Chain A
Amino acid sequence: MPVDRQPQTVRKAVVVGGNRIPFARTGGAYTKSSNQDMLTAALDGLIARFGLQEERIGEVAAGAVLKHSRDFNLTREAVLGSALSPETPAYDLQQACATGLETVLGLANKIRLGQLDSAIAGGVDSASDAPIAVSEGLREVLLDLSRAKTLPQRLQILARLRPKDLAPDAPSTREPRTGLSMGEHQALTTAQWNISREAQDELALNSHRNLAAAYDAGFFDDLLTPYRGLTRDSNLRPDTSPEKLASLKPVFGRSLGSEATMTAGNSTPLTDGASTVLLASEDWADAHDLPKLATVLDGEAAAVDFVHGKDGLLMAPVFAVPRLLARNGLTLDDIDYFEIHEAFAGTVLSTLAAWEDEKFGRERLGLDGAFGKVDRSKLNVNGSSLAAGHPFAATGGRIVATLAKMLHEKGKAGGRPALGLVSVCAAGGQGVVALLEAYSAGTTAGDIHD
């Protein structure tokens, strides 16, 4: 007997809302919190906001960049510790700093294809509770020891240990193939694009001011749940000034020939935190009387050859965004909000400079000229990572939930639903970007029909 198969049409995936815990500078309020603790807390806040207790969510996907080996099932364990139904499946994902955004895109696609009706995307990271591994020498000895059968064998293996083998192997943000830290890599790019110290400090200042203003206006009241006594991001400095930022000493790029411009003020600090985003089909959201803030339209990943110095480590979004917009028949001028993750002020400014560069547009992007100019009044209007901090895998969720709420509040722009662009750079020369639109019933710029 023939079975009626579901029609293979693409439907909408909407952002219902989000929840994160305040981000804490490493060594601060969350020093004793594990990734699992923080992700569970972020989930429980989301569950409370949307009344999802004992709900079987289609799938939960999250991840962490700095991850203990014991956390092989981090997201599932967090789900089991949360108020969700224990019958909610989950998986871990890891794509460096793009982890959070990639969970959103992957789950949104499953919803669009009808595989899921509801999903929670997220990410968490703790640089405070980072895993510390034993040295390679000690690890080999321990493994050999476990395989040894006799006492003489064991003694022989132990004798191989040298004092240096006992030093632990702490995680670092160094690129394995270049040995350079992320900051040193960005310093190269910042210098290459001639980004001034003043421009970087100004971007950092705006980030703090915008984030502080958003908090004061109550913007985060339904995006954030306090955790361990923290009610705001601990990195936020509402009272910072151009003078204070200008007084900081450069920390990256000091060995370059040119002037060093990157300071602790215009770079993100190591941060602990977690974020979550509730995604759903329109029907599921309606059936649960939940809001539909924005539609996840499309996403694009890119990677660059930073190993051979062809492009800067964090410049992949420069290539991903033109491809994404072209596919959707859009230009930068069509975008109402830009959310460009501020790994470093220099990253954002180098990205904008590349897009404004005629030669780069022609030679690297294959365009007729410059890709375009980002209206700075539409950029990170409620602050970004320089002020909030950047717990690697948690940043994507923070941005998507924030942007979805902004798009919902904006509603329409020029007679069509407001559009928002997310851009997140990541280690390994990668970048993931996404396009969101204020929710409106009916067809949208990104609808694909078959």
Chain B
Amino acid sequence: MTDTYARLVNHGLGRDLARKLGLPQPADLRRYRPGQPLIDGPVLVRGSGPGADRIAAALLSWGLDVRRHAVPKERLGGIVLVLDALEAPGDLEQPVLAAAPSLRDLAPGGRVVTVSRVPGGTPATAAARQGVDGLLRSLAKELRAGATGNGIVLAEDVSPTAPSALGALRFFLSGRSAFVDGQFIRVSSAEGRLPDDADAPLAGKVAVVTGAARGIGAAIARTLHRDGATVVAVDVPAAGDHLAEVANGIHGTALQLDITRDDAGQRIIDHAVHRHGRLDVVVHNAGITRDKLLVNMDQSRWGSVINVNIAAQLRINEALLASEHFRSEPRIVSVASTSGIAGNRGQTNYAASKGGVMGMVRATAPLLAQHGGSINAVAPGFIETEMTARIPFATREIARRLNSLQQGGLPGDVAEAISFLAGDSAGGISGEVLRVCGQNLVGA
């Protein structure tokens, strides 16, 4: 699972050699550790209009070192480009070009975050707003040394300092978003609130994680626990030994359960409520692959993947939506996949199931809204797991480097995104798919 190449080109002789030969140099990413500052160095807030002022004020209130004008040669932790008042494509030029020279001063692991609005309004306004999409994605590809660029897109009537706008801004600026690059989070409402303790955003919550015995699921369980949640770790009975290890490591409980059982949803609710008194978060992570070219696909490969990866989620969600125990600002987060967006040879069944997850998330969002709830998906790209470690060497090397950060993500990177979406500050974000892929070059 270790990325030997990345280690080699980041130290001593290997680093010099890679530089001279122009080889890719994947950086050590700035990843979140509890207690660390939100971001290292000052944050430059650019953009005209009241939105920029209000965001700058919010960052100041978090104790950040905020700049409204660049100080030459000063290393910057991040740049926030507030573009919420664009009316025509011409409006982009001034703020964008004004911020441009500061990119040179962005520290390794720095952050660029745009704040703009959902395309709409007059054709000119829509053009300007949609322009931010192309701008940001291209800019993200120009950043180096583990720096990332991401955007927040506000619905028409949502303030730039709405709880979820600020929540998303915190997420993007922090080390929690290390492997999220070139992505947008849309904030559709003023729901949600920022946590009292940024290091324990899930304090007091009970979260269920399926497929928690290993890999990404185990990382999710550990991350939710680190962020304050009590975790119910679910996996098939056959994975019970690894599951017990995970549960015992995070003071949670292990529930050995086949999620394709008809009563799986009810059993999850019963366990959480009887043993922990409540149920706030369900993370649908359990998934399987049964790869085969479609021409050679058989019923069992197709059927089992659809059943585990999407049909089971639908059934469990039905039970959750019907339960009186899942009505206090509940959160559902599903693990999708970039395969479901861009497609992947040999994975028609898997990609269909993961595409299904994204469709399901979008359609379930309005059903949860009445309880202040939200549902979102996270689509991981190439993540270093036991599963991807089995990919043949050359294929794996290519898959790893094929993104703006030139490396695979870690299970914890996916978990960070899920933990963010599981928290109170994500209340205004629903029906969205957030990619954790280092800006994979394939797909959207």
In the complex, the answer to whether A289 meets B240 with C-beta atoms within 8 Å is no
Partner of A225 from the list B244, B253, B275, B276 (CB cut-off 8 Å) is B244
User: Chain A 228-251, CB within 8 Å of chain B: the 1/0 string?
Assistant: 100100000000000000000000
The 0/1 profile, CB within 8 Å of A marked 1, for residues 248-273 of chain B is 10011111111001000000000000
Closest to B275 in A: A289
A227 interface hit (Cβ, 8 Å): yes
- Chain A nearest CB from B7 CB (Å) reads 32
- Report yes or no: B244 in contact with A48, Cβ–Cβ below 8 A: yes
Which of B233, B238, B258 meets A226, CB within 8 Å?
Answer: B238
Q: How large is the interface on A (under 10, 10 to 19, 20 to 34, 35 or more residues)?
A: 20 to 34
Query: A48 near B254 (CB under 8 angstroms)?
Result: yes
B253 pairs with A50, CB closer than 8 A: yes
Within 8 A of B (CB), among A204-233: 218, 220-222, 224-228, 231
Residues in B neighbouring A54, C-beta threshold 8 A: 251
**Nearest Cβ in chain B — how far from A58, in angstroms?**
20
**A45 and B237 in contact, given A51-B253, A289-B275, A289-B276 (Cβ under 8 angstroms):** no
B247 within 8 Å of A (CB atoms)? yes
Closest to A45 in B: B244
Q: A218-B237, A222-B256 are in contact. Are A53 and B251 (CB under 8 A)?
A: yes
CA of A162 to CA of B230, assembled, Å:
65
Shortest Cβ gap from A88 to chain B (Å): 14
Q: Is the CB–CB distance between B241 and A218 below 8 Å? A: no
Taking a contact as CB atoms closer than 8 A, the residue among B238, B243, B252, B258 that contacts A51 in the complex is: B252
Chain A: which residue is nearest B233 at the CB level? A48
- Set of chain A residues within 8 Å of B248, measured between Cβ atoms: 44, 47-48, 53, 83
User: Taking the complex as formed, is A432 at the interface, i.e. its CB lies under 8 A from any CB of chain B?
Assistant: no
Is A132 engaged at the interface, CB distance under 8 Å to the other chain? Answer: no
Contacting residues, chain A, for B241 (C-beta < 8 A): 41, 45, 225-228
Inside 8 A of B96's CB, which chain A residues have their CB?
none
Interface string of A259-300 (1 = CB under 8 A from B): 000000000000000000000000000000111000000000
Give the residues in chain A near B365, CB-CB below 8 Å.
Answer: none
> Which one of B239, B261, B277 lies within 8 Å of A218 (CB-CB)?
B261
CB neighbors of B among A33-71 (8 A): 41, 44-45, 47-51, 53-54
CB distance from B225 to the nearest CB of A (A): 11
Q: Give CA–CA (A291, B275) in the complex, Å.
A: 9
* Inter-chain contacts of B254 with A (CB < 8 A): 45, 48-49, 225
Residue B274 lies at the interface, judged by CB distance under 8 Å to chain A = yes
Among B254, B275, B277, find the residue whose CB has the most chain A CB atoms closer than 10 A. B254
Check B245 for interface membership: any CB of A closer than 8 A: yes
Known: A218-B261, A289-B276, A289-B277. A224 touches B252 (CB 8 A): no
Q: Which of B247, B258, B275 contacts A48 (CB 8 A)?
A: B247
Q: Tell me whether A220 and B275 are in contact (CB under 8 A).
A: no
CB contact under 8 A between A231 and B237, given known A53-B248, A225-B256: yes
A339–B251 alpha-carbon span in the complex (Å): 35
CA A83 – CA B250 in complex, angstroms? 11
- Which residue among B244, B245, B247, B257 has the maximum number of chain A CB atoms within 10 Å of its CB? B244
User: Are A226 and B251 within 8 A (Cβ)?
Assistant: no
Closest Cβ of chain B to A109, distance in Å, is 28
Report yes or no: B277 in contact with A220, Cβ–Cβ below 8 A.
no
CB-based contact A291/B274 at 8 Å: yes
A48 engages B277 (CB within 8 Å): no
B 214-244 contacts with A by CB, 8 A: 233, 237-241, 243-244
Partner of A44, one of B245, B253, B255, B257: B245
Which chain B residue has the least Cβ–Cβ distance from A228? Answer: B241
> Would you call A231 and B238 a contact (CB within 8 A)?
yes
A290→B258 contact, CB < 8 A: no
Given that A48-B253, A49-B254, A218-B261 are contacting pairs, would A225 and B277 also be in contact in the complex, using a CB cutoff of 8 Å? no
Q: How far, in Å, is A420 (CB) from chain B's closest CB?
A: 23
Please pick, from A44, A224, A291, the residue contacting B237 in the complex, using a CB distance under 8 A: A224
State the Cβ distance, A250 to closest chain B Cβ, in Å.
37
CA distance A41 to B240 in the complex (A): 11
Interchain nearest-CB distance for A23 vs B (Å): 15
A49: chain B residues at CB < 8 Å are 244, 253-254, 256
Which residues does chain B contribute within 8 Å of A48, judged by CB atoms?
233, 243-245, 247-248, 252-254
Smallest CB gap from A53: residue in B: B251
Partner of A224, one of B240, B257, B277: B240
Which residues B169-224 have CB closer than 8 A to chain A? none
Which residues on A sit within 8 Å (CB–CB) of B238?
A: 226, 231
Give Cα A450 to B257, complex, Å: 44
Least CB separation from B231: chain A residue: A51
Q: Is the CB of A226 within 8 A of B276?
A: no
A334 CB → nearest B CB, Å: 31
Distance to closest chain A CB from B255 (angstroms): 8
Q: Across the interface, do A289 and B274 meet the contact criterion of CB distance under 8 Å?
A: yes
CA separation between A220 and B256, bound complex, in Å? 10
Find the A residue at minimum CB distance from B248.
A83
Are B244 and A44 in touch, CB under 8 angstroms? Answer: yes
Contacts of A226 in B (CB 8 A): 237-241
Interface string of A309-320 (1 = CB under 8 A from B): 000000000000
Query: For residues 279 through 327 of chain B, which have their beta carbon under 8 Å from a beta carbon of chain A?
Result: none
Contacts A226-B240, A289-B277; A51 near B256 (Cβ below 8 A) = no
Give, as a whole number of angstroms, the nearest-CB distance from A47 to chain B: 6
Q: Tell me which residues across on chain A come within 8 A of B257, comparing CB atoms.
A: 221
Q: Which residues of A contact B258 (CB under 8 A)?
A: 218, 221
Q: How far is the CA of A290 from the CA of B253 in the complex (A)?
A: 11
Q: A-facing mask of B103-128, CB < 8 A → 1, else 0?
A: 00000000000000000000000000
List of A residues within 8 angstroms of B233 by Cβ: 48
Q: How far is the CB of B279 from the nearest CB of chain A, in Å?
A: 13
C-alpha spacing A190/B336, complex, angstroms: 62
In B122-155, the 8 Å CB interface with A consists of none
| A273, chain B: closest CB distance, angstroms | 14
Tell me the smallest distance from the CB of A118 to a CB of chain B, in Å: 16
How far apart are B261's CB and chain A's nearest CB, in angstroms? 7
Q: How far is the CB of B150 from chain A (nearest CB, A)?
A: 37
Q: Which residues of B contact A83 (CB under 8 A)?
A: 248
Determine which of B245, B252, B256, B274 lies in contact with A221 in the assembled complex, contact meaning CB atoms within 8 Å: B256
Residues of chain B with a CB closer than 8 A to A222's CB? 255-256
How many Å from the CB of B221 to the closest CB on chain A? 12
Residues of the B chain whose Cβ atoms lie less than 8 Å from the Cβ of A224: 237, 240
Residues of B within 8 A of A (CB): 233, 237-241, 243-245, 247-248, 251-258, 261, 274-277
Complex A-B: 16 CB contacts under 8 Å:
A45-B240, A45-B244, A47-B248, A48-B244, A48-B245, A48-B252, A51-B247, A51-B251, A53-B248, A224-B237, A225-B244, A226-B240, A227-B241, A289-B274, A289-B277, A291-B274
Q: Which 4 A-B pairs have the closest CB atoms?
A: A48-B244, A48-B254, A48-B247, A83-B248
Given A44-B248, A49-B253, A221-B237, 6 new contacts (CB under 8 A): A48-B244, A49-B254, A222-B256, A225-B244, A289-B275, A289-B276
